[in-house]
Structure 1
Amino acid sequence: MKISKLILATLLTAVVMVSCENKKEKKEQVKEKMDEVEASVEEGIDEIEESFSDLGDYTFEKKNEVTKSINKGIDKLDAEIDKLEKNVSDSYNDASESVKKERQELLASLKNKRTKLKESMEKLKNSSEDTWDDVKKGFEKAYDDVENAFDKLADELNS
């Protein structure tokens, strides 16, 4: 009888230890995934900033050049948002409902701001020489909003 209790206690201890180890591994996997997401977001922001950094220096005469550069940046942004969305959904397995909801809201906000950025880009593309400076400022604000949304989501994924 004592031997069977000892065996049972040993088995239970082993199961608990394996279970704890599995949870620890799962948490480490989620943390690794979050680190990948953060790196992806930072890389995306860097690439996009590179595309848009000299916008203030462009004059109306270089409108076609700047709109081509911006379109490339927006394409990169779209690719980063797609990657980010996939990584965010992959991280949901162990997340609470409130964390899932918060991340979905941040992702939706990022997509909304990206849409506004695209609309500003269209205005920039269709601007006249008279409206160029105002439209350019509007685009720069829309870009800043997208960058802030990226930062908020990255901060959330790190917490």
Structure 2
Amino acid sequence: MEEKSEFKQKLDTQLNELEAQVDKLKAKAKEATEEAKVKYNELIDELEPKIAEGKAKLKELADTADDAWDDVKEGAASIWDQMKSTFSKVADRFDKDDEPEVTAEPDVTEEPKA
């Protein structure tokens, strides 16, 4: 069950990184023009529920029995993909120098070890 533990740790770390990046976006939005501020806030508002969803999946993962691991793992990977997509929108709309970096997603391609 080492893979489950490793996956949980990676996802937890990445969620924390995304929260830190959202905090940076909030700070940047405060200093932006009104038009840019609206766009930042729209993206932040889109991302925050996905982070909350990711945290819920992480809790579910911790409480999951081994036989349900695959379903939870797929759900967590899907949420991660949605969060990366949202950060890509940020990168496309704003200055590349300040573009938030999204780390690699957890490796969900391997089968769980028994």
TM-score normalised to the size of structure 1?
Answer: 0.54
Aligned length: 95
Residue 139, structure 1, aligned to residue 76, structure 2: yes
Partner of 1:148: 85
SS where residue 130 of structure 1 aligns? helix
Contact 1:85 1:107 in 2 (8 A): yes
Q: Looking at both structures, which has the greater relative contact order when contacts are Cα pairs under 8 Å and sequence separation is at least 6? A: 2
Using the aligned pairs only, state the percent identity.
27
Partner of 1:119: 56
Structure 1 residue aligned with 2:9, among 49, 68, 90? 68
Contact 2:51 2:83 in 1 (8 A): yes
TM-score normalised to the size of structure 2?
Answer: 0.72
SS where residue 32 of structure 2 aligns? helix
Structure 2 residue aligned with 1:86, among 27, 43, 46? 27
Superposed CA RMSD: 1.9
Contact 1:123 1:135 in 2 (8 A): yes
CA distance in 2 between counterparts of 1:82 and 1:102 reads: 15
4+ residue runs over 2 A deviation = 63-66, 99-103
Partner of 1:17: none
Structure 2 residue aligned with 1:157, among 59, 71, 94? 94
Contact 1:106 1:149 in 2 (8 A): yes
CA separation of 1:79 and 1:126: change in aligned 2, threshold 3 A: same
Structure with greater helix percent: 1
CA distance in 2 between counterparts of 1:125 and 1:139 reads: 12
Please give the per-residue CA displacement for 1:32-65, whole angstroms capped at 9, x wherever unaligned: xxxxxxxxxxxxxxxxxxxxxxxxxxxxx12233
CA distance in 1 between counterparts of 2:74 and 2:66 reads: 14
Structure 1 gap segments, 5+ residues each: 1-60
Q: Which structure has the greater CA radius of gyration?
A: 1
Structure 2 gap segments, 5+ residues each: 97-114
